[in-house]
Amino acid sequence: MGLDLGLEEAGFQTLACVEVNEAACATIRANRPELSVICRDIREVSSAEIMEAAGVAPEEVTLVVGGPPCQPFSTAGRRKGINDPRGSLFMDFVRVINDTRPAFFIMENVRGLLSQALSHRPLNQRGPGNPPLGEDEQPGSVLRVVLEEFERIGYRVDYFAVNAVNHGAPQIRERVFFIGNRLNLAVDWPDPSHGLPPQKGQRPFETLGSVLMGWVDPDPVIMDFSPRKKHYLSHVPPGGNWRDLPEELQRESMGAAWHAKGGRSGWWRRLSYEYPSPTIVTMPNHASTSLCHPEEVRTLTVGECARVQGFPEHWHFVGTPLEQYTQVGNAVPVQLGKLAGEVVRQALDSPQNAAQPMLFNVPSRGRNVQSTVRTRMYHVGSKQWLADRIGWTKHKEKVESD
């Protein structure tokens, strides 16, 4: 309910929700016993049942939100797109929107959806000597279908590739938000309020230290590293990764991955209080996506991950350690949920908000709101240089002194 909590901070009231994962349902009920929770596969739930649970009729609800499973669209996965059965859940979201007819909807997903092809051709089958890519194999063909489906049922859409760290979250997390409405209104996403280095009017990025330094998890739930992994991580300084190990330990610990190119920054990664957290993941004890505490040789606890995601301190997660980590890692940062809600509220409060014929005089459109963010540690010989750290630190000190 990270997205829902953010929307509530923006002034919305959650009426009902559909969730297939039983542990997640238990978490929602533990924190919101008064909320109507339908704990079943959305493919088995009718829109009428959802409206009955929410106590509304078609066109009475202001906003419907959802996040169809993101694995089919992730650049880290096999990118099967909507040909993956989970990708087809997008069509169930369209079904619910068409049946309930909200004024607005918000659909959240991974940024990889924007470049996904309907039919994925492996890289080794492209280029010279291979047939040219067909229309359904072109990058972005999934996005074309997404927009066409929403427009088919009478909704124009604005979509935004964003990064949580640009908007005050202590975490680098790229997402895409689709905000659609049947009022023929155009909406926009605010420019970044934080930067590295900060530009005029911006504040410095929030850091991991801003939410974890000095805080002690009162009820720690942890899925920790194995003794073998702790052995390697004990040699890594805060803010470092596998490159900080002697070459013989790199080869020994990484195996074939040591010879790969790119995509290895998460190997034997130790976090730093001085920088934002990398994306909170569902398995923080994996060697290639490790979320090692800055000072201790252990993973972040469920509670620490939840603080990075913006959950309130009283929020209680239910389930096994893996189920709890999965809930936190799959959640939308609360800060992004609030911002998306404020975008919709601003449109609803606009004097131009009057039901108009769907003429699409403003076509569906997209915007990249500086979604790609990197904080890097450069290695030159035996020395390490933190990129932009000096300028960032000086600006931060000036802001705090002012």
List, by residue number, the catalytic residues. 70
- CA–CA separation, 298 and 224 (whole Å): 6
The residues that bridge with 161 in the sheet, in sequence order, are 176, 368
Measuring CA to CA, how many Å separate 327 from each of 27, 103, 311, 338?
9, 29, 12, 19
E strands, 52-109, in order:
63-66, 104-109
Element of type H or E holding 89: helix 89-100
- CA–CA separation, 351 and 333 (whole Å): 30
For residues 196 and 172, is the Cβ–Cβ distance under 8 A? no
For residues 235 and 242, is the Cβ–Cβ distance under 8 A? no
List the one residue out of 373, 349, 367, 372 whose CA is nearest residue 178.
367
CA atoms within 13 A on the CB side of 388: 16
Structure token pair of residue 115: 């470049």
For residues 325 and 283, is the Cβ–Cβ distance under 8 A? yes
For residues 40 and 21, is the Cβ–Cβ distance under 8 A? no
